[in-house]
Amino acid sequence: MVKVVLKEVSKYFGKVRAVDNLNLEIKDGEFVALLGPSGCGKTTTLLMIAGIYKPTKGRIYFDNEDITDLPPKDRNIGMVFQSYALYPHMTVYNNIAFPLKLKKTPKHVIHEKVVKVARLLRIDNLLDRKPSQLSGGQQQRVALARALVKEPDVLLLDEPLSNLDAKLRIYMRAELKRLQKELKVTTIYVTHDQVEAMSMADRIAVMNQGKLQQYAEPNILYDKPANIFVAGFIGNPPMNFIEGSIMEVNGEYYFDSGVFKLKIHRSLGEMISSKTEEAILGFRPEHIKLVTTKAPNAIKGIVYVVEPLGRDMVVNIKVNDTIIKALASPEIQLTPGQQIYIILDERKIHFFNKSTGEAIV
C-alpha cells in the first residue's frame, strides 16, 4: 500500500527509446491503467517499477523513498507477466507457494493462503497440475494467484486477462476490481483494451512511442482528449478527423475543409485562430445526428456502407473523398448511395492544432 512516483524516467535500449521522460504518480491504493499500442513501452515501464530494468535516467519512489537502486526482492511487488512466466518444473501449488517459501513462511500458513487464493480465482482443482497441462486462461489465473498470494504493496499486471474468453474476462474484471478495492493495493494494469481500461481504472495513462500522452480519469480522456493521438485511440469506432482551416467572413467564423464549411461559434473561432490557422476537426461517431433532409449548418454526404452492430449500426458516410463514421440507431432506413446530412453538436466537437496535434478545445 504505497504511493508510486516516477520522476523523469527514461529507458533506452541502444537507440530505441522504449520509455522517454515519463512522469507518473500513482496514489496509494489507486488502480491505474497503462494504455497504448503495441511497443509503446508499457512492459518496460512495469519492469522498471519492479526493479528488473534500471532506468537509463530518472528516479522511482515508493512513498517518497527512492527505490531506484533497490533490487526487486526488496520491493514487495506482485507481478503478472505478459507471458505468465509460470515455473514449468513446479506444480500450480508450488508456483503459487514460491513467493511465500522464499519469505520462509511456515508450511501450514502457506497451505492456507495458497488454497484461499486458488479458490478465489477458481483454480483450486488444478493445484496438482504442471503449467504445461493448463489452458492459457488457467495459466493466467495461476500467475495472478502467484502475484496476489504474497500480499504485495504494489501489483503490476501486464495484460492479465488477454487470454480469457469474453465471459470469464468480464467476470475476472469485476473480480479483480473488487479484490483491488478490498485489498487497497496500488495497482498498475497494462492493457491494449480501452474498454478494459475505461471500465476498471481510476485513472488511465495513455502512452505512445515511449511518451506519456495523457494521464487522467476515463471520462476526461473521452471528453477532453489532450491530443489527436488520445482522441483517436480512445473510443470505438474511433473519432472522425477532418483537416481544414478557420476563416472569418463578416465577423462570423467557419471551419473550412475545402469541401464544406461549418459555422462555428465566434469565441471558439477566435480562440482557434489565435493559435493556428490549420486545424483538425474531430467528432465522435456517437455524437453525430443524421437527417435525411437539408438542414442549416449540416454537412452533406452519401451513405456508403452500413454495418449493423445489433443495438446500433455504424454508418459510413462519404463526404467527397473522406469516410465519416457515424453511430445511428437502426430505426432509420438507409440505403447506400442515398444522400444524407450530418449535424454536429458544437459542444461535443474538438479542434486540434494540425502541426503539433495538441487539442485546442
Partner 1 sequence: MRITRAVMKKIIPWLFLTPVIIFIILSWVAPVALTLYLGFTDLSIKNFLAFIRDFFTPEVHITLENFEKIFFGGDPYLPEVLKITIIYVVSVLAINAFYSLILSISIAYFLKHDYLSLFLRVSWLLPRITPGVIYALMWNWFIDPRYGMLNTLLSLAGIPKEMLPQSWLLDKPYSQILMIMVNGYIGASFGMIVYTAAIKSIPPDLINAALVDGANEFQVARHIIIPLLKWPIFFVVAWQTLSLLASYEQILLIWGAGGGGGYAGIARAAGVMVWALYSYSKAFSEYQYGYASAISVVLVVVGIALILIYFKLFGFSRLMAPSKVEV
Ligand X SMILES: Nc1ncnc2c1ncn2[C@@H]1O[C@H](COP(=O)(O)OP(=O)(O)OP(=O)(O)O)[C@@H](O)[C@H]1O
Please give the residue ranges that form the binding site for ligand X (CB under 6 A). Answer: 13, 16, 18, 36, 38-44, 82, 192
User: Beta strands 186-191 and 299-308: pairing type?
Assistant: unpaired
Q: Minimum distance between the CB of residue 72 and ligand X, rounded to whole angstroms?
A: 16
Residue 72 binds which one of ligand X, Mg ion, partner 1, none, with CB within 5 to 8 A depending on kind? partner 1
What does the angle CA 59 – CA 198 – CA 352 come to, to the nearest 5 degrees? 80
191 binds Mg ion per the rule CB under 5 A:
no
The DSSP symbol for 92 reads H
Q: Is residue 208 at the binding interface for Mg ion, with CB under 5 A as the rule?
A: no
# residues near partner 1 by CB under 8 A: 26
Q: Does 11 bind partner 1 (CB under 8 A)?
A: no
Sole binder of Mg ion in the list 11, 19, 43, 229 (CB under 5 A): 43
Return d(Cα 165, Cα 123) in angstroms, integer: 16
Site string for partner 1, 31-50 (x = CB under 8 A): ----------------x--x
Which one, 36 or 225, has the nearer CB to ligand X? 36
Q: Select from 1, 16, 70, 102 the one that contacts partner 1 (CB under 8 A).
A: 102
Binding mask 49-78 for partner 1 (x = CB under 8 A): -xxx------------------xxx-xxxx
Strands (E), the chain: 4-13, 16-26, 31-35, 57-62, 65-66, 77-80, 154-158, 186-191, 203-208, 211-216, 240-249, 252-256, 261-264, 278-283, 288-291, 299-308, 313-319, 322-328, 339-344, 349-353
Closest to partner 1 by CB, 49 or 246: 49
Q: Coil, strand, or helix at residue 174?
A: helix
Q: Are 287 and 348 in contact (CB under 8 A)?
A: yes
Closer to ligand X by Cβ: residue 41 or 285:
41
Contacting residues toward Mg ion, per CB under 5 A:
43, 82
